[in-house]
Structure 1
Amino acid sequence: MAYSFRSDRATELEFSTSELTGALGDSVTVLPLLVALAATTSVSLPHVLVGFGVFQIVWGLYYGLPLSVEPMKALVGLAIVGSLSYPELAAAGLLAGGVLLVVGQFGLVGRLQRVVGEPVVRGVQLAVALLLLEAAVGLSVDAPVVALGGFAVVAAFALVGYRQASVLVVLALGGVAAVATAGVPTPRVPTVGVFPAGTPAFTGPPLEGTIAQLGMTIGNAAIATALLCGDLYNRDVSADSLSKSMGATCLAAVPIGGVPMCHGSGGLAGKYAFGARTGGANVLLGLGYLALALVTAGALLAAFPVALLGVLLVVVALELGRAAFAPVSDGRSLALVIGVGVLGLAVNVGLAFVLGAVAFWWLSRGE
């Protein structure tokens, strides 16, 4: 059974089984990252889920498309591995939101992408993937049997062609284990307030993280997503429009306890692959996030097996690493990707991004 109505901006919004399964395509990487973030920082998971729920619905209705709404992976990844505290993550989200709003308003996204260079952006993706792998080892080492069981589930589902769904299965198993330990939480409406999880801290790390994140966001969440809107849905959505909507999302969500969010080409492709064709998928997923926010309690999160979080982070890291190498077609670009990635792991993602951009500019002078 499918229900639908017209959206003034674009397409008909449908509410069907395919829209529901398509909605899951955007949650495969979102939920593991949010659970890991809440387990390793002072973030309030219910407030974060409210932010995701609201803006899934907002942008699904606004664009009439199943646009992805996902965490800014560089910033959230740095927070998970301890390079950013939550107050620093909040500050970085506000900085990124302000920049995205301005550059989108003045049509500067395409120009910025050409200056940074795609290999540098891919290198930042690789650096975050390596950092997530490092964090996964730390989470899994104390309970190797649980971790191996989680990897066995992932492998089994991958062998039968449901690799992405395996992440949700592992997450569900961890949730069942947490409920068995902590009990079923009483539904509770998240408190309303400004910066409920901590006041933003505008120090050095947020600026470095923001610089690194903007390269990924401009390349993947703005330009690549705009191209996919045309390729998959035959819709003309500009990269600058996406930049403005991401900026508005960050500036509105972070003060109420959310995290920096962006659109993403991977999430959009995931929704399409699982059957989503309209913004109805966003509405369904947004309602799901809002419902989950009502029953997510601190005790439940504390009881979630951290070794399974390690498994989830490995899957996310491998997907991010695959995306980093997929478009590389020549040796020079490959060297830049690996160089930025390894330097980001060994030293600092922000420094690796800046040095990579300088190297890209130097190597491109003669072209």
Structure 2
Amino acid sequence: MDTAVLPIEEGTNNKKQTNTKEQQRLVALPSSLSEGEEEDEGLLAFSEHQEEETELLVVEDDDTMPKRPKKINKKKPLLSSQPHYYYFSSHFTNKWTTRAKELYSQLTIHEISGSVGDLGTFIPLAVALARQNAIALAPTLFWAGFANVMTGCAWDVPMGVQPMKAIAATAIAHELTNKTQVTIAGIFMGLFMIALSITKGIELVNWLVPTPVVSGIQMGVGINLAIRGLVMIQGLSWWSEIDCIGLALIVALACLYLLREPTTPAPTTTTTTSNENEESNSRKTSSAPPPRPVGLYLFGLGLVLAMFHLLFAQATTADTTPQGWQPIIVWALQGATWDDWKRGLLQGALPQLPLTTLNSVVSVCCLAHNLYPEKRKTTTDTDAVVSRREVSLSVGFMNLILCPLGAMPCCHGAGGLAGQHKFGARHGASVVFLGGCKMILALLLGKYLLKVLEALPTSILGLMLVVCGHELAVMGWTVLAKEHQSSAEQGNIPRKGVVVALLTVIVDVGLHKTHYAALTGWIAYMVYGDGMKEYAAQWQKIRSGDAGQYSPVARSKEGSADPLQVT
């Protein structure tokens, strides 16, 4: 801190000077605190933004000896000129402005094509629930779009927002008899998922479920989705209408041709770099979108056929379309009774909890880890692309906050991620675009939403669902193949993992109960796959602080061995 003091003319005997003018000394003083004063730590955090002030002080000389220059501390009030919230809001605005620019730069034709990848699941379930009067369609579509936008901004992966299938199936089967019970089931699911994230229980679940079981869950859920799509198509006629089985077959052949995997370059002859070349090629294949936006072609064809259906179909006398403007915000808990709360918990939330925990958190994080190896966070303790605790919190708050406002219970399903990836999505821009479209449609169409969504051809939606399920099953098999290779390299019997995974698939496909399948696979792993030895060895590593992976089976580098470690 520099101060400039004009020199005082010195006399040899310290006598008074005979100048007729009064001598003046200009002292430059900074606006800082004087010595000995304690500086407030809270104000110092913002004092860096304050410009230092200097002022010229005139000190008159008199007949006495030169005195020490006076120090004047003048400082603008920080809190009145630049309040605290200015800095926090500025930082928040800059962060989201940067993210918005990234999303805009990532929005390509392939991202738009991939955004429709999970509509094969969303639209049929939403329409079925709306027909059962189990949800209000306009608020459901609006808040699902809002959740899509928030998800795409938070994560740079095409994480879908899908209906909770167990709750939807229960409502369609009339076990949940009204909208209030469906809403309450979603609220309880939100509370459960938040508790699992805060208490790190989701990490314990992830640590307990071995890789073959996760692979079996992915394959089982994928096969179930594909079967559901085939059943939708099977209910159509062969050729009597435009929306028919013949159309589905023609479009399916086109998809087989257009969605072919890109060819990878031939491996080099150098043995020392073969693994690196293989990993590099797999990353390029994973990150490269398909050469053509097939999802956009499919959905565009569906929209054209829906328009023809709406324009030329004969008007029916039994038109159940709601009349008047449909609000996008409703209080879904109005008139809730004790019986509604009990049925929502017992019939809705509890059957859904295992499916959401395994498929919408553990499985979807594993899938993102394998689909996007180039996005692994190598600078942190875990290299997971998306943290399990973050996903659990997202599902929890999404249902706890939005369900009372009219939203349908939703989660981040692995099928949605697989479908959007298959059709070309690689970034969060795809789901942001999809969410914006959902919100706009909910605001503009209102009472016509149900009629428009019902007009979309079942053959196209069913085929999209088959493609999503197929991609999820393929990724589950890929995880199993990596586990098979890892077990062979470690000298273990590769067949054990295959047996455990296929038992999981059989129970999942046969009973349509993911939690039964996971329990069966875990028991098979403990008995047939020497799981007791694996858990004992891993627990010893955790106690000694020398654990390399969080799972009893060595997965690809995805996290910590400690099931209670924050990820």
TM over 0.5: yes
Name the aligned partner's letter for residue 502 of structure 2: A
| 1:328 alignment partner, one of 480, 490, 500 | 480
How has the CA–CA distance of structure 1 residues 296 and 365 changed in structure 2, closer, same or farther, with 3 Å as cutoff?
farther
Q: Distance in 2 between matches of 1:312 and 1:222?
A: 26
Aligned position for 2:400: 251
Q: Which runs of 5+ in 2 are unaligned?
A: 1-92, 260-291, 316-321, 379-384, 482-496, 535-567
Q: Does 1:168 align with 2:299?
A: yes
How has the CA–CA distance of structure 1 residues 227 and 154 changed in structure 2, closer, same or farther, with 3 Å as cutoff?
closer
Secondary structure of the corresponding residue to residue 202 of structure 1: helix
Counterpart mapping for 1:106-125 below 5 A? 106-116=199-209, 117-122=213-218, 124-125=220-221
Please tell me whether the aligned partners of residues 56 and 69 of structure 1 are also in contact (alpha carbons under 8 angstroms). yes
Instruction: After superposition, give the CA deviation of every residue in 1:214-258 in whole Å (9 maximum; x if it has no partner).
Output: 211122334543676763375865321222122111212222222
Q: Larger deviation: 167-176 or 99-108?
A: 167-176
Q: Distance in 1 between matches of 2:524 and 2:97?
A: 42
Q: Distance in 2 between matches of 1:55 and 1:75?
A: 20
Q: Larger deviation: 146-155 or 48-57?
A: 146-155
Please tell me whether the aligned partners of residues 32 and 313 of structure 1 are also in contact (alpha carbons under 8 angstroms). yes
Please tell me whether the aligned partners of residues 323 and 447 of structure 2 are also in contact (alpha carbons under 8 angstroms). no
Secondary structure of the corresponding residue to residue 117 of structure 2: helix
Q: Does 1:338 align with 2:434?
A: no
| 1:262 alignment partner, one of 395, 406, 411 | 411
How has the CA–CA distance of structure 1 residues 49 and 94 changed in structure 2, closer, same or farther, with 3 Å as cutoff?
same
Counterpart mapping for 1:71-220 below 5 A? 71-72=162-163, 74-75=165-166, 78=169, 82=173, 85=176, 87=179, 89-116=182-209, 117-122=213-218, 124-126=220-222, 128-129=224-225, 132-133=228-229, 135-137=231-233, 139-140=235-236, 145=241, 146-151=243-248, 152-161=250-259, 162=292, 163-180=294-311, 181=313, 188=325, 190-195=327-332, 201-204=344-347, 206-220=349-363
Please tell me whether the aligned partners of residues 97 and 250 of structure 1 are also in contact (alpha carbons under 8 angstroms). yes
- Give how far 1:133 is off: 4.0
- Give how far 1:288 is off: 1.3
Secondary structure of the corresponding residue to residue 102 of structure 2: strand
Name the aligned partner's letter for residue 102 of structure 1: A
Q: CA RMSD in A?
A: 4.2
Please tell me whether the aligned partners of residues 26 and 68 of structure 1 are also in contact (alpha carbons under 8 angstroms). no
Please tell me whether the aligned partners of residues 117 and 423 of structure 2 are also in contact (alpha carbons under 8 angstroms). no
Q: Distance in 2 between matches of 1:74 and 1:313?
A: 16
Secondary structure of the corresponding residue to residue 56 of structure 1: helix
Name the aligned partner's letter for residue 335 of structure 1: L
Q: Which runs of 5+ in 1 are unaligned?
A: none
Name the aligned partner's letter for residue 13 of structure 1: E
How has the CA–CA distance of structure 1 residues 239 and 211 changed in structure 2, closer, same or farther, with 3 Å as cutoff?
closer
Instruction: After superposition, give the CA deviation of every residue in 1:31-58 in whole Å (9 maximum; x if it has no partner).
Output: 3323212332233222121112212222
| 1:15 alignment partner, one of 98, 101, 104 | 104
How has the CA–CA distance of structure 1 residues 58 and 315 changed in structure 2, closer, same or farther, with 3 Å as cutoff?
closer
Q: Distance in 2 between matches of 1:10 and 1:226?
A: 25
Q: Distance in 2 between matches of 1:332 and 1:238?
A: 29
- Give how far 1:268 is off: 5.4
Secondary structure of the corresponding residue to residue 13 of structure 1: helix
Higher relative contact order, chain-length normalized (CA < 8 Å, sep 6+):
1
- Percent identical residues: 15
Q: Distance in 2 between matches of 1:283 and 1:144?
A: 39
- Give how far 1:322 is off: 3.9
How has the CA–CA distance of structure 1 residues 338 and 225 changed in structure 2, closer, same or farther, with 3 Å as cutoff?
closer
| 1:53 alignment partner, one of 124, 128, 145 | 145
- Give how far 1:352 is off: 4.1
Q: Does 1:70 align with 2:161?
A: yes
For this pair of structures, how many residues does the alignment match?
358
Instruction: After superposition, give the CA deviation of every residue in 1:98-143 in whole Å (9 maximum; x if it has no partner).
Output: 2221222233323212323314533551464266246415643598
Q: Larger deviation: 283-292 or 203-212?
A: 203-212
- Whichever structure has more helix as a proportion of its residues is 1
Please tell me whether the aligned partners of residues 254 and 260 of structure 1 are also in contact (alpha carbons under 8 angstroms). yes
Q: TM-score, normalised by structure 2?
A: 0.53
